[in-house]
Each structure stands twice: as structure tokens, then as C-alpha cells.
Amino acid sequence: MLLIKKYGLLIGACILLVVILFIAGIQDLNKPKERFIVSYIDSFDTVTQIVGYEDEQADLQKKADVLNEKLIYYHKLYDIYNSYDGINNLYTINENAGVAPVKVDKEIIDLLKFSIELYELTDGQTNIAMGSVLTIWHDYRTQGIDNPDDAALPPMDKLKEAAQHMDINNIIIDEEASTVYLNDPEMSLDVGSIGKGYAVQKVAEYAKELGYNNIAISVGGNVAAIGSAENGNDWRFGIQNPFLDDEENPYAARVDISDLCLVTSGDYQRYYVVDDVEYCHIIDPDTLMPADYFKSVSVIIEDSGKADALSTALFNMTYEDGLSLINSIEGAEAMWVFEDGSIRYSENFEEYVVK
């Protein structure tokens, strides 16, 4: 059994503990393939685990190394905290806000365009232009975790001032020149609600191009099931119960999927406490405060980037509004875990749930 924990991420907005469980099936009696796991800790400030079925561990290791190298490439491109020699990344764009356009790799432009599409789809509930606000929350959360006795909430007037610099229309993309320019010197990008899931999707597509099948990729809990598990069986994923003290029920649900992605956003991993109240890392762009509708929201859909963005958006919306949104997106399903422990599903989510 493989347990994958999602830590605080530079572009991580979704919170998820995932368990990948092998479903026993009819094995090749001559030489059954085994399940192997390869782990890395060099991308997106979290644990990457690649699971596959091969004759030998070395066979999966070779494939996993290729995929992890591609993941590192995306990590460097989408990093908002660090620069790298010879690379203009999101950090470079933020540093040049209001100064000059930055020539970037097409993969960055593709991510930004995709993020703008998801901003429109979610009516602004996932906004990569929120960096000015999210930076304030990040600083206060870090201070509160490091020094609990001094934990405090950011002043609302400070947040409102920062919110004047989160207009996504100030991202100026010139595809012909391959440049990106932030037309507001106080603006900054933060792709925590979408970047890691988008990178997982790109790596999954790369794996398919290479002919890699029967592989599952989890980057801090953003999971993509490539093909099926051994012998055509579905992959089985256990969605963490957000009530962590409920040791008798470790999973809110277990789901069986193939060629699909699963992402969960929740309030139970990245948070800090102020006056005995927990404040999670997912910030509602309307209130500029942590959302508190649910304990967690899980999304299943073919695209990991969409799953990442949608789980964040749904976490920031009422159940009714979120259900309306998810029902409008073909192939998307969601599960909500409420503060009282009750669970609700979109129309077809339960088709994936193991009874």
C-alpha cells in the first residue's frame, strides 16, 4: 500500500492524501508482472511517486527516471520563488512586472492561456493573478506556524490594497514574440491552484507518447492514472478522510478509475491557528479570506490541470453553485465532504466509488 502526502507547495493549492491500492486480477501464470514504486523528492517541493507493473524494478526505474526528468523541467519553469541559469520562468516574469516583457518557453505561455481559460470557466474562482494577496497570507501563515504565540490574521485593509493588483487582464501575452508582461508593477503570478496539476497532465501525456502504460503518477497527491492497472483492472485510489482523528475510517471514499485524474482540495493539511481557529491556505478571491464551506472537495476528470483548478474553485463555492458548475463540464465529477462529516456527490461520481 502506497501513501502519498501532499505538503505545502510553491504552486500547490490542492490538498490530498492518496492511497494507490492494487486490485487483484488474473495474473499471467507464466511470468506475472509485479507492482513497483519509484519515489523522488526533487520537484514541486513534495513527493513524487510513480507506480507501474513490470518484470523487474529496474524496468520501471528507467521509465520513471525519464518522467521525473520531464517533471523537473516543468518545476523549474513554473517556480515562482527561484531562478535558474538559462531559464526565464514565472519568477522571472514576476521580477519584471511593470518593467519589461520577458521572453519565455512556449510551455509557460500554454500554462498561462490554460489558466485564463479556467479563470473564465470558474468565474474567477481560480485566479493565477492573486499573487499579491496570496503572498501576504503565505507570510502570515509561515509566521504563525513558526511562532504560534504570535500567530495573527493579515489586516483586511492590507489584503484589500493587494487585491487591487490581481486583475488577470494585466497579463499581456505576445505569442508571436513569445513574451509575457505583467502590466502592473505590484502584480505577481501564483499558479498554486493549477500549476502542479497542469505539469502532471503534461508528464502523463508525455508518458503516453513514449508508450508507457499501466503507470500511475502522483505528485504531492495530484494523481494521473495512465491506462489501467495490471490485466486491465482499474486503479484504486483511497481519498483521505479529512477528519484525521477518525482512525477507524481513514478514507472518505475509495474510487476505481483508469485513464482519469483525481485531485482533492482540503483544509486539513496546510493551515495555521489564530485564537483557536484554523485558517487553511485556500483563499477565496471574493472575501480574501480562507474558504470554510467544506473539509474537502475531490474532482475526477480526464485532465489533471482541470482537476486541480476545479477542486480549488469548488472549495471556494457553495455546494449549490459548485454542483451547477461541475454539472456543466462534460466528464467532470466531484465529491464534497462537509464540516459535519456528511458527503455529497455530483450525479455520476458514485459510479467510481467502491462500495
Tell me the CA distances in angstroms from 243 to 121, 248, 281, 339, one per residue in order. 30, 11, 17, 9
Q: What is the pLDDT of residues 170-193, one digit of tens each?
A: 999 999 999 999 999 999 999 999
The predicted pLDDT at position 30 comes to 55
pTM: 0.88
CA contacts within 13 A on the Cβ side of 242 = 26
Diameter over CA atoms, the chain: 69
User: Which is it for the CA torsion 284, 304, 76, 42, positive or negative?
Assistant: positive
Percentage above 70 pLDDT, the chain:
91
Nearest-angstrom CA–CA distance, 193 and 10: 10
What is the pLDDT averaged over residues 201-205?
A: 98
Percentage of residues in the chain having pLDDT higher than 90: 79
**Range of lowest pLDDT (18-32, 118-132, 144-158, 298-312):** 18-32
Query: Within 13 A of 229's CA, how many CA atoms are on the CB side?
Result: 19
Q: Lowest mean pLDDT of 21-30, 169-178, 338-347, name the range.
A: 21-30
Residue 267 — pLDDT band, cuts 50, 70, 90? confident
How is residue 339 written as a grid cell?
Answer: 464540516
d(CA 137, CA 218): 27
In this predicted structure, the answer to whether residue 69 has a pLDDT above a threshold of 80 is yes
- Top-confidence range, 12-16, 93-97, 243-247, 276-280: 93-97
- Coil, helix or strand at residue 20: strand
Please give the domain boundaries of the chain with CATH numbers for all domains: 2-79+193-351 (3.10.520.10), 90-182 (1.10.3980.10)
**pLDDT tens by residue, 209-266:** 999 988 999 998 799 999 988 878 999 999 989 887 777 888 999 999 999 999 999 8
What pLDDT, on a 0 to 100 scale, did the predictor assign at position 31?
66
Per-residue model confidence as pLDDT tens digits over 273-320: 999 999 999 999 999 999 999 999 999 999 999 999 999 999 999 999
Q: What is the pLDDT of residues 133-153, one digit of tens each?
A: 999 999 999 999 999 999 999
- 8 pLDDT band, cuts 50/70/90, is very low
274 three-class SS = strand
CA distances in angstroms from 279 to 245, 250, 335, listed in the order given: 18, 23, 22
Q: In whole angstroms, give the CA distance from residue 235 to residue 354.
A: 11
Q: Give the integer Cα–Cα distance in Å for 118 and 13.
A: 14
Residue 17: pLDDT band by 50, 70, 90 thresholds?
A: very low
Q: Is the pLDDT of residue 1 over 60?
A: no
Give the mean pLDDT of 105-125.
Answer: 97
* Mean pLDDT, the chain, whole residue set: 90
Task: Give 33's pLDDT tier (boundaries 50, 70, 90).
Answer: confident
The full DSSP string for 21-83 is EPPP----SSS--EEEEEEEEEETTEEEEEEEEESSHHHHHHHHHHHHHHHHHHHHHH-SS--
Is 19 a residue whose pLDDT tops 80? no
